[in-house]
């Protein structure tokens, strides 16, 4: 097998014989990952010396093929561009054409959708099943400053743009989490998250494979199968978004008391359960604790920066808070003028460090606008309380400017969620000539509950005194969410 300077490869060579992936198609060792990725790289190069940063878009079922192809692209000197399996052809076309992919790799399950998109872009479509049969050739030296991964993210506005992460960025993001959450080679994590997003790629898959641990990857998220995995005791780590925890809580509630006992007991075998990518309601934190004994470790991060803030692995985890800067990450809050916020005041989160991305692909203007010197402007607003950050929301969507006051939609949501008949809620600001913005709440009621807008507002008057009672409330069946389970506030706003 060819030698490599890519840290993942060098590290994997120290874990020969150990299980890397447990999937629906069986278990795979680090040896198999090295072999398959070397063959993938050779097939992609087909006699060339180096892909030299060419983009390779790929889509495979959730399993061994994913890291084998990702590493193969890296070993050939390319940039891996993972596609999203639930995206319609138009979205896939946007990603493939925007990143100017030179090849599209797809499993035969996706060939029907992907082959025409590749053809439209006049680039070859390779079946992933054929990659691992290639012979091995010499592979290039790939420096740590070279781009490794491009992830498409919507950011705040416009069409999704490509976030370019170098090998050095990835290494910084991964090693920070390895240190903070004490990853080790005996860890076994259950992977249920999408593979086109930083959470599933970096925090779960990359960290596991960096640590020499085993990544148990489910073919899809299935609440029963997740509970079953906890009960079987084969895993000791779990990371998910709040929506997934809501579903796990709901399934627990529907189980018999005997089953519940087994489920609760099983969770004691896990060493860590993490939540992030969206605000974890304090109610869910408490409920999960009551069910499993685990205080969910909430962290904050972003595609562009990896993870920035985290509650401690050891020590007090505060509901509604995201903790302190992770190792190697500098974080500060700035006011409207870009000056460091006064102590105790809220401000925009800015992040600096090796973990911060290189650029938005082919968007120098947007890249420049996203930075203040070396500090990346996240667009999220937070406040530090007792040494721990609390996220108030995205400046563009969650900070509602009403009657001259700035209020946090997340804080109002948190209060409304404590109403006994409310299951879920999303608060947005709607442009209004009198108020500037009017506070509006879309509310999902608990099954069979009835509640009038007036009754909720009356209740809110007292509860929300320090905040702002929503002047408009509508009752909806479901909140609109993206594939990551995050509420899409732009769509919520259109409901009013």
Helix-then-strand count for the chain, H and E: 16, 26
CA-nearest of 222, 91, 226 to 154 is 91
User: Of residues 286-305, which lie at the interface with ligand AMP (CB under 6 A)?
Assistant: 298, 300-303
- Tell me the longest C-alpha to C-alpha distance in the chain: 72
Out of 95, 277, 346, 388, the residue judged to bind ligand AMP by CB under 6 A: 277
Contact status: 198 vs ligand AMP (CB under 6 A): yes
C-beta of 71 vs 152, nearer to ligand AMP: 152
Shortest spacing between CB 443 and ligand AMP, in angstroms: 20
Q: Cβ distance 1 to 34 under 8 Å?
A: yes
Out of 11, 394, 406, 493, the residue judged to bind ligand AMP by CB under 6 A: 394
Instruction: Find the part of the chain contacting ligand AMP (CB under 6 A) among 92-100, 258-266, 273-281, 311-319.
Output: 273-281
Shortest spacing between CB 276 and ligand AMP, in angstroms: 5
Shortest spacing between CB 127 and ligand AMP, in angstroms: 30
User: Of residues 147-186, which lie at the interface with ligand AMP (CB under 6 A)?
Assistant: 153
C-beta of 245 vs 300, nearer to ligand AMP: 300
The CA angle 243-245-246, to the nearest 5 degrees, is: 65
C-beta of 23 vs 166, nearer to ligand AMP: 166
Shortest spacing between CB 301 and ligand AMP, in angstroms: 6
C-beta of 4 vs 311, nearer to ligand AMP: 311
Q: Cβ distance 50 to 22 under 8 Å?
A: no
Residue with smallest beta-carbon separation from ligand AMP = 303
CA-nearest of 198, 126, 192 to 162 is 198
Contact status: 125 vs ligand AMP (CB under 6 A): no
User: Of residues 308-337, which lie at the interface with ligand AMP (CB under 6 A)?
Assistant: 322
Q: Specify burial of residue 19 (Cβ count, 10 A radius: 0-12, 13-18, 19+).
A: middle
C-beta of 457 vs 486, nearer to ligand AMP: 486
The CA R_g of the chain, rounded to the nearest whole Å, is 23
- How far is 33 from 145, CA to CA, in rounded Å? 24
What the block records as the tokens of 99 is 């990143």
C-beta of 173 vs 277, nearer to ligand AMP: 277
If you write DSSP's letter for every residue of 470-495 in order, what string do you get?
Answer: -SEEEE-SS--B-TTS-B-HHHHHTT
Interface mask toward ligand AMP for 367-386; x: CB under 6 A: -----------x-x------
Contact status: 278 vs ligand AMP (CB under 6 A): yes
The alpha carbon dihedral of 127, 128, 132, 134 has a sign of positive
Shortest spacing between CB 197 and ligand AMP, in angstroms: 6
Q: Cβ distance 333 to 382 under 8 Å?
A: yes
Binding region for ligand AMP (CB under 6 A)? 153, 198, 276-279, 298, 300-303, 322, 378, 380, 391, 394
């Amino acid at each position: 097998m060819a030698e490599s300077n890519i840290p993942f490869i060098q590290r994997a060579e120290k874990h020969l014989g150990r299980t890397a992936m447990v999937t629906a198609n069986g278990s795979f060792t680090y040896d198999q990952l090295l072999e398959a990725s070397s063959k993938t790289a050779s097939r992609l190069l087909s006699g060339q010396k180096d892909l030299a940063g060419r983009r390779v878009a790929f889509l495979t079922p959730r399993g061994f093929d994913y890291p084998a192809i990702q590493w193969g692209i890296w070993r050939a000197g390319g940039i891996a561009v993972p596609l999203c399996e639930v995206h319609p052809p138009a979205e896939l076309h946007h990603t493939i054409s925007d990143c100017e992919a030179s090849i599209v790799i797809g499993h035969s399950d996706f060939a029907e959708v992907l082959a025409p998109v590749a053809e439209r872009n006049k680039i070859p479509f390779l079946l992933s099943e054929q990659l691992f049969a290639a012979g091995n050739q010499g592979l290039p030296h790939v420096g740590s400053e070279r781009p490794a991964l491009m992830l498409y993210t919507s950011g705040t506005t416009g069409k999704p743009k490509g976030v370019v992460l170098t090998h050095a960025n990835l290494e910084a993001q991964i090693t920070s989490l390895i240190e903070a959450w004490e990853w080790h080679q005996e860890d076994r994590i259950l992977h249920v998250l999408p593979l086109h997003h930083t959470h599933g790629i970096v925090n779960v898959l990359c960290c596991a494979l960096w640590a020499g641990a085993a990544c148990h990857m489910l073919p899809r998220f299935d609440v029963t199968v997740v509970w079953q995995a906890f009960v079987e005791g084969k895993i000791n780590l779990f990371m998910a978004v709040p929506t997934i925890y809501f579903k796990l809580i709901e399934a627990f509630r529907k189980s018999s008391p005997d089953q519940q006992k087994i489920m609760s007991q099983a969770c004691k075998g896990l060493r860590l359960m993490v939540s992030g990518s969206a605000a974890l309601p304090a109610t869910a934190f408490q409920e999960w604790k009551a069910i499993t004994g685990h205080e969910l470790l909430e962290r904050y991060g972003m595609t562009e920066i990896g993870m920035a803030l985290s509650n401690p692995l050891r020590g007090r985890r505060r509901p509604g808070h995201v903790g302190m800067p992770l190792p190697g990450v500098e974080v500060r809050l700035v006011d409207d003028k870009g000056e460091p916020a006064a102590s105790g005041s809220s401000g925009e989160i800015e992040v600096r460090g090796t973990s911060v991305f290189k650029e938005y692909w082919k968007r120098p203007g947007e890249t420049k606008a996203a930075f203040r010197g070396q500090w990346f402007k996240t667009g999220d607003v937070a406040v530090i309380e007792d040494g721990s950050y609390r996220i108030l929301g995205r400046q563009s969507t969650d900070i509602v400017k009403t009657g001259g006051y700035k209020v946090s939609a997340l804080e109002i949501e948190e209060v409304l969620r404590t109403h006994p008949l409310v299951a879920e809620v999303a608060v947005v600001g709607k442009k209004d000539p009198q108020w500037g913005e009017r506070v509006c709440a879309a509310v999902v009621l608990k099954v069979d509950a009835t509640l009038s807008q007036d009754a909720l507002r009356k209740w809110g008057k007292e509860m929300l005194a320090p905040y702002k009672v929503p002047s408009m409330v509508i009752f909806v069946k479901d909140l609109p969410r993206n594939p990551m389970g995050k509420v899409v506030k732009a769509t919520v706003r259109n409901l009013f």
